[in-house]
Amino acid sequence: MLLTLDLGNTNLTAGVFRGEELVCEFRMATDRTRTGDQYAIDLLAMMQLKGISPADVHGAIVGSVVPSLDAALCKAVRTVIGRDPLMVGPGIKSGINIRIDNPAQLGADLLVGGVAAVQKYGAPCIVWDLGTATTVSVIDEKGVFRGGAIMPGVATSLDSLISRASLLPNIRLEAPAKVIGTNSIDSMRSGAVFGTAAMVDGMCDRIEAELGTTAKVIVTGGLGAEIAACCHRDTQYDSRLLLDGLRILYERNAK
C-alpha cells in the first residue's frame, strides 16, 4: 500500500492506496509547533484507527506547501513505516511541461492537482483548489502548465471580514436560498458562496479567451463542493484530486 500526504496550511490530508483504490482517508490539523515524533504518534494512531498496518505500507509521498514542517513530516513517515517519503519538488518526473517564469517555484499543490486533472479528465483544463487560498491552475490542450492565479480563500476572506467588521457574526458557510440576502447572515453567505461561484465562472471565461479554446473545469478543496454546485458553468468536483495526483506522481517516479 501507498501512503500519500498532502500538507496544507490548515490541514494535513492523508490517504492510503491499494493500487488505484483509496482504502482510507483522514485529516489532521496542520500545527507548525509539533515535532516529527508528535506527528508520528498522530499518524500511527490514525492509521491504526483505520485498520492500516504500517508493515503493509511499501512507500510514501509528500506534497507540502509548508516548508517549515517538511523535515518533521519526513521524520514522522520514516518513524512509522521505516522508509523516507518521496517529496514533491523540483526534479520530480511529472509528465507535465511547466512553462512559467520559474518552474522551480511552482507550488507542490498546483503541480499535484494539475497532474491528476490531466490524467483523470484530460487537457485542456482549469483546476480550482478552494482551500486556505484559492488557486487556479491552467493546463492547455498540449498538456502544458501555463500558469494560473492565486487569491484569498473563501474562509480566509470571511475571517478577515468578520475580524474587521464588529457587527458581522461568524457564520456557517452554505448557500442561502437566494442571491439577494434580506439579513446579514444570508447576505454574507450570498457574497461568499454565490460571489465565489461567479468569480469561478468569470475567471474561466477570461482564461478560455486567452487559451483560445474551451476547457474542462475541475474543482477541489474543502469548500469546493458548495461552490461548484452554484457555478453556472459545467464543473467537476473531485474531493480526492490531490491524493490521486500524489499517487500518480509516486507511480511515475517509483523506479
- The residues carrying an active-site annotation are 109
DSSP secondary structure string for all residues of 145-191: EEEEEEEE-HHHHHHHHHHH-TTPPP------SSSS-SSHHHHHHII
CB atoms within 10 A of CB 180: 10
| Cα 38 from Cα 72, distance rounded (Å) | 9
Assess contact for 137 and 110: CB atoms under 8 A.
yes
**Contact status, residue 125 vs residue 216, Cβ threshold 8 Å:** yes
